[in-house]
């Protein structure tokens, strides 16, 4: 009898690194959506390099939060809303899902408006046409393609974020001065507290919590584990792979934040342009200060990150509703077999299109949404901490003590920043 061939050895080194990149990188890149880019641009223009230090402070906090959400999905076999239902009443989870949907819909509308403004600058065509085209195209693609196809596209779209790193180098900063600003935080003013809440709200954002956990479930389904009991539990190697994936994704996200703040600090802030209100104004102001190249990079980046972020915004709300109310769900299903799930995605996108025709100011809404997320996130983090540290819910694989400490510190920091904004 011929012996069965031995299974292939797991990849090592660089091959392993590229093989594990997936949900963590996509989620990290989606964090730098037009809301994030607008927030970082406003912060750089208004405060210069004074808040550069937030990039390295927020990285381990964001990584701890996203890894906790990933672990919840990998170990319980459920998305975040489904796991929260194991610990909290349905009504409370439903309220969180509604709040997430409302915040995400506003974010989708503002993202579409920002993308359309950028596309109009590049082509000269009316921005309203682009809002409809982007909204309809993204909704159609989410319904038409299956999870593994969407995930592959989102992973490649993450490369567009390198545009902001290149733009920062194009400004030729004094790297010694940059280093000093990055490692020497100052005590924020009252306006600075608001900016800090906005930064934390867009880097540690509720929609990313739900998207990360649900992506883990989709990954398991793609491997054939469609029954819940087959998805429960995770090997130590799988958890280690995801830590690497999340670590790289969140590092890249915060690196981009660092360079966007640096670019606008080196150009707009130095020339007294501290009160810009639209992405069009930011891009146009960059041209005489940093050249046409930097303007185009900034503008193209907004379109690219919008294409990456809007599916995660609409999709995370759909996952939250589906798991709260027991609907059929998943980007691996066809529309006819998950009508309510896809209906939430279509509704959020369509409402975002309608918002553009209400003549909203994209940067103001994007910045305001980031602040709202910064206020909502700590309450959601309390629920994540309760679930992720529960041995029963986590099937005997709760998050380690260091992760508990980082999650607790993140929650306290978000509450403290919000209090500082209102009372200092």
DSSP calls for 5-65: PPPPPPP-HHHHHHHH-SHHHHHHHHHSSHHHHHHHHHHHHHHTTTTTTHHHHHHHHHHHH
Of 214, 239, 200, 206, nearest in space to 381 by CA: 206
Confirm whether 4 is domain-assigned: no
Q: Where are the alpha helices (DSSP H) in 268-291?
A: 279-290
How does pLDDT run across 219-265, given as a tens digit for each residue?
A: 888 888 888 888 888 889 899 999 999 999 999 999 989 998 998 88
C-alpha distance from residue 377 to each of 65, 96, 112, 192, 212 (Å): 11, 11, 23, 19, 15
Q: Which residue has the higher pLDDT, 120 or 140?
A: 140
Residue range 382-400: mean pLDDT, rounded? 93
Band the pLDDT of 267: cuts 50, 70, 90. Answer: confident
- pLDDT-wise least confident of 249-253, 354-358, 400-404: 354-358
* Interatomic CA distance for residues 119 and 96, integer angstroms: 34
Mapped onto helix, strand or coil, the DSSP state of residue 3 is coil
Confirm whether 8 is domain-assigned: no
Q: Give yes or no for residue 399 having a pLDDT over 90.
A: yes
**Which among 51-65, 113-127, 266-280, 356-370 has the top mean pLDDT?**
51-65
* Interatomic CA distance for residues 303 and 161, integer angstroms: 11
Confirm whether 13 is domain-assigned: no
Helix (H) or strand (E) holding 94: helix 90-123
For residue 405, give its domain range. Answer: 19-423
What helix, strand, coil percent values describe the chain, rounded to 5? Answer: 80, 0, 20
Q: Which residue has the higher pLDDT, 357 or 19?
A: 357
C-alpha distance from residue 44 to each of 201, 219, 296, 380 (Å): 16, 37, 18, 28
- Token pair belonging to 228: 């819940």
Q: Which residue has the higher pLDDT, 274 or 56?
A: 56
Q: Would you say 147 and 332 are in contact if contact means Cβ atoms under 8 Å apart?
A: yes
Confirm whether 159 is domain-assigned: yes
Of 307, 233, 260, nearest in space to 164 by CA: 260
Tokens 């992720």: give the residue. Answer: 388
Q: Would you say 97 and 320 are in contact if contact means Cβ atoms under 8 Å apart?
A: yes
pLDDT at res. 391: 93
**What's the domain count of the chain?**
1
Q: Which residue has the higher pLDDT, 121 or 83?
A: 83
Confirm whether 2 is domain-assigned: no
Helix (H) or strand (E) holding 100: helix 90-123
Is the CA virtual torsion 38, 44, 46, 47 positive or negative? positive
Distance between start and end Cα atoms, the chain: 78
Percent of the chain having pLDDT more than 90? 34
Distance of CA 145 to the CA centre of its chain: 21
pLDDT at res. 8: 55
Confirm whether 7 is domain-assigned: no
What b/e sequence results for 351-372 when a residue is b if at least 16 CB atoms lie within 10 Å of its CB, and e otherwise?
A: bbbebbeeeeebbebbbbbbbb
Q: What is the mean pLDDT of the chain?
A: 83
State the CATH number of the domain containing residue 230. Answer: 1.20.1740.10
pLDDT at res. 1: 45
What b/e sequence results for 302-319 when a residue is b if at least 16 CB atoms lie within 10 Å of its CB, and e otherwise?
A: bbbbbbbbbbbbbbbbbb
Confirm whether 3 is domain-assigned: no
Q: Would you say 254 and 59 are in contact if contact means Cβ atoms under 8 Å apart?
A: yes
């Amino acid at each position: 009898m011929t012996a069965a061939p031995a299974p292939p050895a797991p990849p090592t080194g660089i091959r392993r690194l590229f093989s594990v990149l997936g949900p963590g990188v996509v989620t990290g890149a989606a964090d730098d959506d037009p809301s994030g880019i607008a927030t970082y641009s406003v912060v750089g223009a208004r405060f210069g390099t004074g808040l550069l230090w937030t990039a390295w402070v927020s990285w381990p906090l964001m990584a701890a939060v996203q890894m906790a959400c990933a672990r919840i999905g990998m170990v319980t076999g459920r998305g975040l809303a489904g796991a929260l239902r194991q610990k909290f009443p349905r009504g409370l989870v439903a309220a969180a899902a509604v709040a997430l949907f409302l915040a995400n819909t506003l974010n989708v509308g503002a993202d579409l408006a920002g993308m359309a403004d950028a596309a109009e600058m590049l082509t000269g065509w009316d921005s309203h046409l682009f809002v409809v085209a982007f909204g309809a195209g993204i909704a159609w693609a989410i319904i038409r393609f299956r999870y593994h196809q969407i995930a592959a596209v989102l992973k490649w779209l993450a490369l567009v974020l390198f545009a902001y790193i290149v733009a920062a180098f194009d400004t030729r900063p004094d790297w010694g001065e940059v280093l000093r600003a990055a490692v020497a935080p100052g005590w924020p003013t009252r306006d600075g507290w608001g900016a800090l809440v906005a930064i934390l709200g867009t880097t540690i954002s509720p929609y990313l919590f739900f998207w990360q956990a649900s992506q883990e479930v989709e990954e398991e389904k793609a491997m054939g584990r469609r029954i819940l009991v087959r998805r429960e539990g995770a090997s130590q190697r799988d958890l280690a792979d995801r830590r690497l994936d999340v670590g790289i994704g969140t590092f890249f996200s915060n690196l981009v934040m660092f360079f966007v703040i640096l670019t606008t600090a080196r150009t707009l802030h130095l020339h007294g342009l501290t009160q810009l209100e639209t992405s069009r104004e930011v891009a146009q102001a960059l041209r005489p200060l940093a050249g046409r190249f930097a303007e185009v990079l900034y503008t193209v980046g907004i379109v690219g990150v919008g294409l990456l972020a809007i599916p995660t915004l609409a999709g995370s709300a759909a996952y939250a509703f589906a798991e709260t109310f027991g609907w059929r769900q998943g980007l691996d299903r066809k529309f006819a077999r998950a009508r309510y799930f896809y209906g939430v995605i279509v509704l959020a996108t369509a409402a975002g299109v309608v918002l553009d025709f209400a003549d909203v100011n994209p940067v103001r809404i994007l910045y305001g949404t980031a602040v709202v997320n910064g206020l909502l996130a700590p309450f959601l983090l309390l629920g994540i901490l309760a679930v992720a540290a529960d041995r029963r819910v986590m099937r005997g694989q709760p998050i380690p003590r260091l992760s508990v400490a980082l999650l607790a510190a993140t929650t306290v920091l978000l509450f403290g920043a919000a209090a500082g904004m209102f009372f200092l």
